[in-house]
């Protein structure tokens, strides 16, 4: 069955969506605390899905601007490839100097597509167009040089730059929310954030400082040296070049702001909040907020699944699956959090080590 909508309310690297869409070998190109790369297989199995089957549409929420750069690159192949080529352009620079320079530029920037300059350009184009508001109809000299003409001539009112500027000065402010889809992301920001995270002391956390050892100790032979070497510019660029594209994805910031309408049957909502008692994310969700989100999406018709270090027993009648032992890949050596649970609004299709529905 085609999944009509797959929602990740606390998307992070959206490792689960990536696996669902592009197969079991698809990995987020950046490391991030709490990423579900190692548990992706177990979670999809519990949902009854297989890696690579895909969904018709995705919805991702995360307030973190660095995360949103990554998510934008997932749905825009052009952006990902351009970021790759920018990273390649940095390859001859001294790594530490490059990293420090990129970090000094500050937190990641999501440029709003409509800048003040762009608004001005569009307003003026429309005001001076032959058919008002339609720049494609051509330039209308009468709209600009009317003063000497008779007041009865077509277009004789005339609009100097002052006219649209005055309108913009007094335009009312409406309490409207604009979906962040209408953003164009600067590929250089994607590139900058990718490299900063890759070469930082704690992966994905530029605030932890530059990790000289990761690059300078790099052994050119694949078998030698420390296992966790950082990627070079060329390797990083190659990763972004090969990133799968999930075009049908919407991206929003705060999960709490979304009030889902009645959802199409088969909609799946996965919630992977910052775990209770953990620190490190700029934004957080309380347990009460997680429970409220879970109920809201279940009431709207979604099958809801929540990851946590414990079962959310406050959700009476829901199902709890211990997936701790199902992790694939690197062990969580430095993490205090060892247990991994999935709380589900519908019966799980599969539990680790137990096949459901056979009896």
Ligand X SMILES: C[S@@+](CC[C@H](N)C(=O)[O-])C[C@H]1O[C@@H](n2cnc3c(N)ncnc32)[C@H](O)[C@@H]1O
Interface residue list for ligand X (CB under 6 A): 9-10, 12-13, 15, 32, 34-36, 61-64, 67, 254-256, 272-274, 281, 283-285
Q: Residue 29 Cβ, how far from ligand X at the closest point, in Å? A: 12
Two structure tokens written together for 31: 């490391």
Q: Is the CB of 279 or the CB of 333 nearer to ligand X?
A: 279
Nearer of residues 67 and 190 to ligand X, judged by Cβ: 67
What is the closest distance, in whole angstroms, from the C-beta atom of residue 60 to ligand X in the complex? Answer: 9
Distance CA 7, CA 164 (A): 42
Nearer to ligand X, 170 or 333 (CB): 333
Cβ proximity to ligand X, 6 vs 90, nearer residue: 6
Give 156 or 278: the residue with its C-beta nearer to ligand X. Answer: 278
Strands 268-271, 6-8: pairing is: parallel
Nearer to ligand X by Cβ, of 174 and 288: the residue is 288
Q: How far is the CB of 108 from ligand X (least distance, A)?
A: 13
**CB 20, min distance to ligand X, A:** 12
Q: What is the CA radius of gyration of the chain?
A: 25
| Closest CB 68 distance from ligand X, rounded Å | 10
Reference 244, options 40, 15, 66; nearest CA is 15
Q: How far is the CB of 8 from ligand X (least distance, A)?
A: 6
For the bound state, the minimum distance from the C-beta of residue 263 to ligand X, rounded and expressed in Å, comes to 18
The nearer residue to ligand X, 167 or 282, going by C-beta atoms, is 282
SS (H, E, C) the chain: CCECCEEECCCCCCHHHHHHHHCCCCCCCCCCCCCCCCCHHHHHHHHCCCCCCCECCEEEECCCHHHHHHHHHHHCHHHHHHHHHHHHHCCCCCHHHHHHHHHHCCCCCCCECCCHHHHHHHHHHHHCEEECCEEEEEECHHHHCCCCCCCCCCCCCCCCCHHHHHHHHCCCCCCCCCCHHHECCCHHHHHHHHHHHHCEEECCEEEEEECHHHHHCCCCCCCCCCCCCCCCHHHHHHHHHCCCCCCCEEEECCHHHCCCCCCCCCCEEEECCCCCCCCCCCCCCCHHHHHHHHHHHHHCCCEEEEEECCCCCCCCCCEEEECHHHCCCCCCCCCCCCCCEEEECCCCCEECCEECCCC
63 vs 347 by CB, closer to ligand X: 63
Q: Smallest gap, in angstroms, from Cβ of residue 117 to ligand X? A: 31
CB of residue 58 vs ligand X: minimum separation in angstroms? 13
250 forms beta bridges with 59
| Residue 75 CA: distances (Å) to CA of 72, 247, 251 | 5, 4, 10
Residue number of the CB closest to ligand X reads 12
Looking at beta carbons only, is 96 or 202 nearer to ligand X? 202
Q: Distance between CA atoms of 35 and 327, rounded to whole angstroms?
A: 12
């Amino acid at each position: 069955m085609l999944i009509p909508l797959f929602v990740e309310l606390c998307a992070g690297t959206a490792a689960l969506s990536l696996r669902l869409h592009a197969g079991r070998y698809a990995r987020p190109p950046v490391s991030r605390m709490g990423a579900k790369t190692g548990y992706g297989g177990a979670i999809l199995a519990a949902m009854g899905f297989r890696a690579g089957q895909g969904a018709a549409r995705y919805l991702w929420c995360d307030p973190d601007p660095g995360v949103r750069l990554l998510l934008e690159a997932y749905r825009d192949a052009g952006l990902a490839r351009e970021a790759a080529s920018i990273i390649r352009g940095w390859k001859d620079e001294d790594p530490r100097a490059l990293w420090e320079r990129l970090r000094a530029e500050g937190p990641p920037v999501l440029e709003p597509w409509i800048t003040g300059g762009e608004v001005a350009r569009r307003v003026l184009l429309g005001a001076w167009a032959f058919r008002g508001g339609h720049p494609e109809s051509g330039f209308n000299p009468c709209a600009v040089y009317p003063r000497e003409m008779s007041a009865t001539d077509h277009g004789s009112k005339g609009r100097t730059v002052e006219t649209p500027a005055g309108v913009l000065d007094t335009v009312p402010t409406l309490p409207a929310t604009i979906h962040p889809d209408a953003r164009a992301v600067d590929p250089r920001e994607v590139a900058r954030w990718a490299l900063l995270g890759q070469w930082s002391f704690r992966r994905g956390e530029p605030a932890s400082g530059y990790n000289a050892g990761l690059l300078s100790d790099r052994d050119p032979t694949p078998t030698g040296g420390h296992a966790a070497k950082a990627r070079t510019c060329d390797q990083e660029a190659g990763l972004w070049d090969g990133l799968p594209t999930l075009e049908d994805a919407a991206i929003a910031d705060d999960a709490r702001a979304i009030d889902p309408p009645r959802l199409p049957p088969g909609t799946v909502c996965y919630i992977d909040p910052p775990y209770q008692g953990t620190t490190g994310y700029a934004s957080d969700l309380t347990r009460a907020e997680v429970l409220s989100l879970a109920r809201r999406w279940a009431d709207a018709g979604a099958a809801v699944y929540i990851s946590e270090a414990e079962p959310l027993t406050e959700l009476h009648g829901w199902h709890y699956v211990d997936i701790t032992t199902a992790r694939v890949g690197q062990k969580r050596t430095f993490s205090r959090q060892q247990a991994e649970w999935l709380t589900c609004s519908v019966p799980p299709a599969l539990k680790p080590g137990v096949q459901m529905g056979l009896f």
